Amino acid sequence: MKAWDEMVKCALLGTEKMPLQVAILPQNIQKILEKTDKTDSEAYFLKAAALTWTYRRAGQMPDKTPLPSISAAPDETLKFAPPQYISLLKRLFDSGTSRFPQLFILFFEKMVEKNYVLTPENVYDVLNLTTEPIYRNHKTLISRVVGERGRWLTQFNEAWQMPQVQSFDAVWAEGSSADRRLALTDYRKTDPEKAFNLIKGAWQEANAREKKDLLKILATQPQNEEWTFVQAIYDDLVQEKTPKAITQEMKEIAVGLLLNNPSSDLYKKVAERLKKYVVTKKTFLGLSSKNTLELPTESDDFLNGTVMKYEFGHGFTPSTNELLTEYWFTYFLNRMHPSVWEDLLETDDWQRILQVLEDADRLITNNRKRQRQSFKWHISTALGNHRYRQGVFACLKTGKNSDYQTHILNALSNDELEKYFIDHIDIGEVSNVRNHLLRENWRWSSTLSLYILRGIIARKNETYNNIPFAINSAAFFDSSILSELYALSKLPQSDWQLQQQHNTLIMPLIQFLEIRKEIESF
Amino acid sequence: MNRLSEEQVLQLAPDASSLKSGKDLANVKKWLNFKYNERVLWGEMQGSGKDPYRTQIDLVSTAFKCSCPSRKFPCKHGLGLFLLFARDPSVMKQTDDEPTWVKEWIDKRQAKAEKIVEPIVEIDDKTQAKREKDKLKRENERLALVQAGAAELELWLKDLLRGGFLSLPEKGSGFFDKTAARMVDAKATGLANMVKGFTKINFYNGTGWHSEVLAQAAGTFLLLESFKNIEKQTPSVQEDIRSLVGWSQKKAELLEDETGEKISDTWLVLNRLTEHEDDLTIQKHWLFGAKTSHFALILDFSYKNTPFSNLLVAGTWLDAELVFYPSNMPFRAVIKNQGATKAQFHPPVSSSHNWQKAQEAFVEKLILNAWADELPQILSQLTVAKHDDMWFLQDTEGGLMPISRLMSFEKMMQLLALTGGKALDMAVLRVQDTVVPLGVFVDNNYKIIKI
């Protein structure tokens, strides 16, 4: 309405600066105002405004410029989740979205298993989860549970939209180096043959850095024909008289791969050269003999800087107080397939092998101030990488925890690991091994759950370390410990530490396990 | 039986902390016992005292009683027990065998609902005459004060206009609060609210505030002029003017007044809005009568967290007799008799066919009360539409009404999630030139949009 807009202008500037022009007002209003005193210009204006305001409100008609309507959401093809699902979802939201994300995921997986979708009232909150970092990897799952209505709603918020998955061919043709590498790594898992052909095809055109990336892709579980390819690359690399840093890096990757494979030429060559450090010693009466290991104290024709640099790409120097030969020897302990020591020492008794390594270690380092781990610790790297169970068990049987890398525990089955924990690990040391307790898809047995819970409860003065671990591991606990938790929750909280345990451990665990139990019962 | 949904029970929480505590107590392990029947739900919970707390809920007309010392209403025990029941009544035993403490309370409530006995206090003529004289004196004194306040406000408006509104954003809310306080001193709380209306304008939304400021000034001046000429108006218009200026009728007086307009109906609670002003919390419920198609506003006030007198649940139906405040356009009401709350009820609901008809109905209300605003309407077959960053509700004939910018993104998404882009009957609140969606009818079920 033009009159109103003109009046707004007058009001903004003030009647002093811009008096009202009566002619702009509708005739009806002008007529009403005829008898009004014009000398009080503000009162006159306000009266005119009051009339025009009413006139305008009463005369306003809805706009009739049809807008393109938003296309309707497709009908749901799946059933809506029953009320108890929705009720549980609300309780999950009440407990906070970052506290127990595992429960949300478990809940969504149950929805998918039962072929349910959320009712429209609840899709907003669930879609919003996709904006939180911890749920970003679960967008596909969330997209499934929000149903047609939720997927339709994502068009109104970019943050909810599912990432557009480009085909491998598109990424390979147009993607950045990093994207191509990631895509090829993934692709190799589904079609290793084609992936290998692509690597071979790209090799000649690739620059040194790209070659290094391509070589890295082969580092996970190389296939048969890939070994020949890696060996050929290695053979080319060692030809360089003055290798650049990138060449050395590539060489080290190739060496790492080839030393892992007992049938590779390099492995065989190194095994042969290591033989000279194996010394056969007769027993006291000369009735039997034992193979032992003796390393030179000075560089020789194998364990020397030039060989290590040019043949193995190993250009680093050891820390102080460490023998160079010993340092280079650990390079092979770490990398070579553990079976090499069975062949060299002519025994498959790993306790014996470990003893030989330990003796060699002592021999060389006698009277030295040591600042590094023992040979046993280095062989444990290879044992862990290869999940070489006979060596791993021997390590666990003979050594202290500090003698080996805990990742050898990867070689144990869940049951074996559980037994090992209960027999050997005090909960106070749990921080060293906690990652091994969090194996994917592992639900601790009732015994292990209780062992961990009781251990944590007993160490109330270490709650700062242990409670966050227990809460982050809530998904691993077996629900059977609920009765123990209920009993604990009723105990008097006689000091602040017990109170803290009650509030930050026992009650949240009860909440978690109760909800998980409920989800699983659906 | 009144079986509210979990969402509906949560609406009854008086504040966020009660809501959280109530949710925590909605756990079977926390209760010593709980049972229910068609009319009442009860349970006992061990609190910090020697005896357990006894919690009772009237399932017919939604009321609570608890022996705990909490001053909140309903208390966390009431909420927890009701929430537990809403989630899954099968965890509770159904029995007609009510303990004495439950039976006494619920029988008393039912008897009260059936018959309200008013106490009769006899007053002699002399006392009555004195009271009336005193009342008249007080009224005259107040009228003089209000008239002085109105004159002061008129002067203030004129001064403001003379200098121009352009400088208003720089003045800040304190400028308006000061004048509003003067009006409160003059016992013209309605005029104070008119001044406070300026502080609700968003001065940072480009040029949108220009028109809003003039509209606020025009509406205020219209009221001042009407008040000056109140004697020339009809009695019902006079009531509206007096009410807008600041005279209020006591709820008890209204309930006693035999001449007041009363409507009995099954009312749909269209939605609820809670606003806070300093220590005062104002709760607005908009109701729609299924049989009479009458709309009503129930206003409730809570000072410093005192309990609200009405326990209404948005999205449910309620059998009730309402008494309307005297007005040329009866809208604000109080509940005289409250019957059963119905979570599941699907009567046919009459609605305007398009925005044209809705506008005509709105203008009819404006003729009766020029200041009418925040009026609910029900329209059929509306779809959500968007243009640039503005959202609209579009009728089947292409008529458009902009959705208020008060609707946050979250609320818009909730509206879209409920409608799925389909044409649905909707309840809306007309706020100035825009609408705020209150709820949608999906497959005959009314679903509220949180506002």
3-state secondary structure B371-401: CCCCEEEEEEEEEEEEECCEEEEECCCCCEE
Question: What is the C-alpha to C-alpha distance for residues A359 and A293, in angstroms, rounded to an integer?
Answer: 8
Task: Give the pTM.
Answer: 0.79
**Using CB atoms, which residue from A50, A72, A91 is nearest to B420?**
A72
End-to-end Cα, chain B, rounded Å: 28
* Residue A229 to residues A200, A218, A248, A258, B309, Cα–Cα distance (Å): 8, 10, 18, 11, 84
**Using CB atoms, which residue from A49, A65, A120 is nearest to B221?**
A49
Task: Collect all residues with Cβ–Cβ distance below 8 Å to B49 and sequence separation of at least 6.
Answer: none
Q: What is the pLDDT of residue B406?
A: 83
Q: Bigger pLDDT: A118 or A423?
A: A118
In a shared domain, residues B311 and B286: yes
Under an 8 A CB cutoff, do A42 and B392 touch? no
In a shared domain, residues B324 and B383: no
**Using CB atoms, which residue from B165, B355, B356 is nearest to A11?**
B165
B206 touches chain A (CB under 8 A): no
In a shared domain, residues A243 and A280: no
Model confidence at B119: pLDDT above 60: no
Three-class DSSP category at A107: helix
* Residue A213 belongs to a domain: yes
**Cα torsion B340, B110, B34, B69: sign:** positive
Shortest distance, CA A135 to any CA of chain B (angstroms): 19
* Residue A378 belongs to a domain: yes
Three-class DSSP category at B264: strand
Cβ–Cβ under 8 Å, residues A246 and A284: no
Q: Which residues partner with B382 through β-bridges?
A: B424
Greatest mean pLDDT among A188-202, A241-255, B413-427: B413-427
In a shared domain, residues A349 and A389: yes
* Residue B54 belongs to a domain: yes
Please compute the mean of the pLDDT values over residues A289-304 and round it to a whole number: 87
Q: What is the pLDDT of residue A456?
A: 86
* Residue A416 belongs to a domain: no
Question: What is the C-alpha to C-alpha distance for residues B313 and B55, in angstroms, rounded to an integer?
Answer: 20
Under an 8 A CB cutoff, do B422 and A73 touch? yes
* Residue A74 belongs to a domain: no
In a shared domain, residues A180 and A294: no
Among residues B178, B203, B208, the alpha carbon closest in space to that of B192 is found at B178
Q: What is the pLDDT of residue B359?
A: 93
Q: Bigger pLDDT: A164 or B378?
A: B378
* Residue A210 to residues A183, A186, A223, B64, Cα–Cα distance (Å): 14, 17, 21, 73
List CB contacts (< 8 A) between A14 and chain B: 161-166
* Residue B122 belongs to a domain: no
**Using CB atoms, which residue from B159, B218, B358 is nearest to A50?**
B218
Whether the bond between B74 and the residue before it is cis, its omega within 30 degrees of 0, is yes
In a shared domain, residues B47 and B136: no
Residue carrying structure tokens 């504040």: B15
* Tokens of residue A310, six digits: 């040019």
In a shared domain, residues B170 and B227: yes
In a shared domain, residues A140 and A174: no
* Residue B209 to residues B205, B212, B215, B222, B258, Cα–Cα distance (Å): 7, 5, 10, 20, 45
List CB contacts (< 8 A) between A52 and chain B: 218
Sheet holding B375-387, edge to edge: B400-402, B390-394, B375-387, B424-431, B434-442, B445-448
Model confidence at A201: pLDDT above 50: yes
Residue carrying structure tokens 């009418």: B372
B226 — pLDDT class (breaks 50, 70, 90): very high
End-to-end Cα, chain A, rounded Å: 61
Q: For residue B415, give its domain range.
A: 355-448
List CB contacts (< 8 A) between B88 and chain A: 84, 87
In a shared domain, residues A345 and A230: no
Sheet holding B63-66, edge to edge: B63-66, B53-58, B40-45, B33-36, B93-94
Model confidence at B2: pLDDT above 70: no
Instruction: Kindly give the residue spans of alpha helices, DSSP state H, lying in A206-294.
Output: 208-217, 224-237, 245-259, 265-274
Model confidence at A71: pLDDT above 50: yes
Question: What is the C-alpha to C-alpha distance for residues A124 and B415, in angstroms, rounded to an integer?
Answer: 10
Q: What is the pLDDT of residue B50?
A: 82
Q: What is the pLDDT of residue A492?
A: 87
* Residue B121 belongs to a domain: no
* Residue that is last in its domain, among A384, A411, A438: A411
Q: What is the pLDDT of residue A165?
A: 66
A432 — pLDDT class (breaks 50, 70, 90): low
Mutate to test the interface with A, among B214, B364, B442 (most CBs of A within 10 A): B214
**What is the SS3 string spanning B281-313?**
EEEEEEEEECCCCCEEEEEEEEECCCCCCCCCC
Q: What is the pLDDT of residue B196?
A: 94
List CB contacts (< 8 A) between A156 and chain B: 412-413, 416
For chain A, give me the number of helices (H) and strands (E)? 28, 4
Could you tell me how far CA A395 lies from the centroid of its own chain? 29
Rg (CA), chain B: 24
Pick from A347-351, B59-63, B185-189: least confident: B59-63
Shortest distance, CA B87 to any CA of chain A (angstroms): 7
Please compute the mean of the pLDDT values over residues B3-7 and round it to a whole number: 85
Among residues B291, B286, B249, B289, the alpha carbon closest in space to that of B269 is found at B286
Model confidence at A520: pLDDT above 50: yes
In a shared domain, residues B262 and B218: no
Please write the tens of the pLDDT for every residue from A17-39: 888 888 999 999 999 999 888 88
Cβ–Cβ under 8 Å, residues B380 and B365: no
Question: What is the C-alpha to C-alpha distance for residues A184 and A203, in angstroms, rounded to an integer?
Answer: 13
ipTM of this predicted complex? 0.84
* Residue A72 belongs to a domain: no
Shortest distance, CA B120 to any CA of chain A (angstroms): 47
Mutate to test the interface with B, among A67, A154, A158, A506 (most CBs of B within 10 A): A67
List CB contacts (< 8 A) between A43 and chain B: 154, 158
* Residue A214 to residues A172, A261, A266, Cα–Cα distance (Å): 13, 19, 20
B158 touches chain A (CB under 8 A): yes
Please compute the mean of the pLDDT values over residues A357-385 and round it to a whole number: 72
In a shared domain, residues B241 and B280: no
A67 — pLDDT class (breaks 50, 70, 90): confident
CATH number at residue B430: 2.40.50
Restricting to B residues 137-156, those with a Cβ less than 8 Å away from any Cβ of A are 154
Shortest distance, CA B108 to any CA of chain A (angstroms): 34
In a shared domain, residues A197 and A317: no
Question: What is the C-alpha to C-alpha distance for residues B203 and B198, in angstroms, rounded to an integer?
Answer: 10
**DSSP readout, A426-481?**
-GGGHHHHHHHHT-TT----HHHHHHHHHHHHH-GGGHHHHHHHHHHTGGGS-GGG
Shortest distance, CA B430 to any CA of chain A (angstroms): 12
Model confidence at A364: pLDDT above 80: no
Question: What is the C-alpha to C-alpha distance for residues B284 and B14, in angstroms, rounded to an integer?
Answer: 14
In a shared domain, residues B240 and B183: yes
Model confidence at A293: pLDDT above 60: yes
Model confidence at B328: pLDDT above 60: yes
Q: What is the pLDDT of residue A431?
A: 62
Please compute the mean of the pLDDT values over residues A103-113 and round it to a whole number: 95
In a shared domain, residues A279 and A380: yes
* Tokens of residue B448, six digits: 């509220």
In a shared domain, residues A49 and A92: no
Under an 8 A CB cutoff, do A11 and B414 touch? no
Q: Which residues partner with A356 through β-bridges?
A: none
Task: Collect all residues with Cβ–Cβ distance below 8 Å to B277 and sequence separation of at least 6.
Answer: none
Question: What is the C-alpha to C-alpha distance for residues B65 and B42, in angstroms, rounded to an integer?
Answer: 9
Q: What percent of chain B has pLDDT over 70?
A: 98
Model confidence at A193: pLDDT above 80: yes
Cβ–Cβ under 8 Å, residues A67 and B394: yes
Under an 8 A CB cutoff, do A11 and B213 touch? yes
* Tokens of residue B355, six digits: 């925005």
Please write the tens of the pLDDT for every residue from B259-287: 889 999 999 999 999 988 888 899 999 99
Q: Bigger pLDDT: A391 or B349?
A: A391
- The vertex-B371 CA angle with B370 and B374, nearest 5°, equals 125
**DSSP readout, B145-212?**
HHHHHHHHHHHHHHHHHHH-GGGHHHHHHHHHHHHHHHHHHTT-HHHHHHHHHHHTS-TTSTTHHHHH
Q: What is the pLDDT of residue B145?
A: 96
- Average pLDDT of chain A? 87
* Residue that is last in its domain, among A259, A291, A308: A259
Question: What is the C-alpha to C-alpha distance for residues A211 and A196, in angstroms, rounded to an integer?
Answer: 13
* Residue A66 belongs to a domain: no
* Residue A519 belongs to a domain: yes
In a shared domain, residues B167 and B107: no
* Residue that is last in its domain, among B87, B114, B141: B114
A87 touches chain B (CB under 8 A): yes
A49 touches chain B (CB under 8 A): yes
Q: What is the pLDDT of residue B114?
A: 62
Q: What is the pLDDT of residue A399?
A: 65
In a shared domain, residues A398 and A436: no
Model confidence at B349: pLDDT above 90: no
Please compute the mean of the pLDDT values over residues A410-422 and round it to a whole number: 89
Q: For residue A507, give its domain range.
A: 427-522
Question: What is the C-alpha to C-alpha distance for residues A265 and A209, in angstroms, rounded to an integer?
Answer: 25
In a shared domain, residues A298 and A341: yes
In a shared domain, residues B46 and B73: yes
- Please give the helix or strand (H or E) that residue B280 lies within, else none: strand B280-289
Model confidence at A368: pLDDT above 60: no
In a shared domain, residues B284 and B268: yes
Shortest distance, CA B166 to any CA of chain A (angstroms): 5
Under an 8 A CB cutoff, do B162 and A15 touch? yes
Q: What is the pLDDT of residue A401?
A: 67
Q: What is the pLDDT of residue A430?
A: 63
Shortest distance, CA A80 to any CA of chain B (angstroms): 14
**Cα torsion A444, A94, B23, A518: sign:** negative
The tally of domains found in chain A comes to: 5
B410 touches chain A (CB under 8 A): yes
* Residue that is last in its domain, among B312, B342, B372: B342
Model confidence at B117: pLDDT above 50: no
In a shared domain, residues B230 and B154: yes
B414 touches chain A (CB under 8 A): yes
- Average pLDDT of chain B? 91
Question: What is the C-alpha to C-alpha distance for residues B199 and B278, in angstroms, rounded to an integer?
Answer: 14
Model confidence at B329: pLDDT above 60: yes
Under an 8 A CB cutoff, do B413 and A64 touch? no
In a shared domain, residues B19 and B34: yes
**Long-range contacts: B134-139, Cβ < 8 Å, 24+?**
none
The tally of domains found in chain B comes to: 4
List CB contacts (< 8 A) between A63 and chain B: 399-401
Please write the tens of the pLDDT for every residue from B68-92: 988 888 999 999 999 999 988 888 9
**Long-range contacts: B122-126, Cβ < 8 Å, 24+?**
none
In a shared domain, residues A278 and A254: no
* Residue that is last in its domain, among A112, A130, A160: A160
Please compute the mean of the pLDDT values over residues A432-447 and round it to a whole number: 84
* Residue B138 belongs to a domain: yes
- Please give the helix or strand (H or E) that residue A4 lies within, else none: helix A2-13
In a shared domain, residues A311 and A451: no
Q: What percent of chain A has pLDDT over 70?
A: 93
Please compute the mean of the pLDDT values over residues B354-373 and round it to a whole number: 93
B32 — pLDDT class (breaks 50, 70, 90): very high
